[in-house]
A = this chain, B = another copy of it.
């Protein structure tokens, strides 16, 4: 058995078993998604009732496809699935299968459990890796592969990859993220379903080794193999960040999760401790999951926890200060050198508030793009500063794109993370895109930028802690 999941994410060809022109069915939307999003590989619809689907030749069975098939996506009813695997085994070229069909072990019906076991046994002998059953499979923004039946969605490439224990939630947050005024992109995406073969752990390892993935975001309802998860997570977080929204934080949530996936929810305290020990950054909301993964995938890790807040407007600055003040020491305000403060006094408008309190600079609404750029430069050059949170509400006389270009140029000179919040709706949309395209992540709200930065600091502290352990 080949120890790679590459055939799921980068297949040269995909056969859709159960492709159909029947609009209400999964096989319709899956074929449409592959065709309509311009998947770069070959697509073979399979359905004995059709000659062609979406303008593609349709084959009566998997056996009759005359070209090589690497990945099969199965969306026919469960009882027919073992037959498909037998055909796949007979062909000899199929490397991977996504079983979209439900009605297997998740029903807890003995015959259906046996059906899943039968599939696994055929697949194993034939060396075919399996996603599912009861899953929507994978997406890859690099080749436009999408095996899900999610509705139309904007494809936004990025460098975070996602694992979701809920197919609909996982797909929907991607749709939401891609349709934001400043879209949040992704690299790879996976929903695992029943995990009869490929599981969360193997995906974590695959993402660890994937060049397109810089940070891993996980929506998690529960894990059964906690010890093994810990081991894998601890290994992965050495090189790449894992950020998780682990639900079941309350008793009510745990109970709902148990009735959803049937997973043993486990005690909240145990999860909290285990995730922390494994270096996993835990978040509380979907937005925080996306924000933190975006920050960690686009920025260097801060070397220490000394944050400087550089703001053009008091309100956002105070909001960010509150978040840092409530972060239980995960981040703290930097102490700037006297030299830095002198330079800031020289550069900034007379109304600027410099280091009241320490590490906090309010440039005032009189700050133009040059003030922003000069101040950022001086602050990033200070060895007492590990990261910067830059916030601005550009007034009508400050051209947002000029501002973006000026600060991007400064940021590039340093290997320190700078998170930004330009807060003025579509007035700053293009400016934010300029920053995003230059590895300078932007966030919708000051509190969200601050939390992402705090979470970066948690990862930094974990990495420094494990290094100290090793050197002791």
Contacts and interface: CB of A to CB of B under 8 A. Distances in A.
Contact of A175 (B286, B313, B427): B427
A12 interface: no
B360 A149 contact: no
Given A176-B424, A221-B315, 9 more contacts: A169-B316, A169-B319, A172-B393, A175-B425, A181-B181, A248-B322, A249-B326, A250-B326, A260-B318
A66 interface: no
A365 B415 CA distance: 46
Interface in A439-456: 444-448
A219 B314 CA distance: 12
A149 B259 contact: no
Contacts of A25: 397
Contact of A426 (B23, B154, B248): B154
A446 B245 CA distance: 13
A329 to B, nearest CB: 12
A80 interface: no
A317 interface: yes
A60 interface: no
A201 to B, nearest CB: 21
A321 interface: yes
A429 B314 CA distance: 33
A255 interface: yes
Interface string A149-160: 111111000000
A261 B257 CA distance: 46
A247 B365 contact: no
A319 B425 CA distance: 28
Given A260-B353, A325-B250, A445-B285, A315 B393 contact: no
Contacts of A153: 425, 427
Contacts of A245: 319
Interface in A297-351: 313-319, 321-322, 324-326, 333
A362 interface: yes
24 contacts: A23-B397, A24-B397, A29-B397, A151-B394, A151-B424, A151-B427, A154-B425, A168-B393, A169-B316, A170-B315, A179-B425, A181-B181, A221-B318, A247-B318, A247-B319, A249-B325, A250-B321, A250-B322, A252-B357, A256-B314, A256-B360, A256-B362, A285-B447, A286-B445
Oligomeric state, in copies: 2
A468 interface: no
A166 B313 contact: yes
A426 B179 contact: yes
Given A168-B395, A425-B178, A447-B286, A318 B248 contact: yes
Contacts of A285: 319, 445, 447-448
A121 to B, nearest CB: 27
A154 B424 CA distance: 11
A162 interface: no
B29 A396 contact: yes
Contact of A325 (B252, B333, B394, B444): B252
Contact of A252 (B28, B219, B256, B322): B322
A321 B256 contact: yes
Interface string A228-258: 0000000000000000010111111101110
A394 B176 CA distance: 13
Contacts of A284: 447
Contacts of A173: 423
Contact of A247 (B164, B219, B322, B444): B322
A259 B356 contact: yes
B151 A255 contact: no
Nearest to A324: B252
Nearest to A149: B396
A377 interface: no
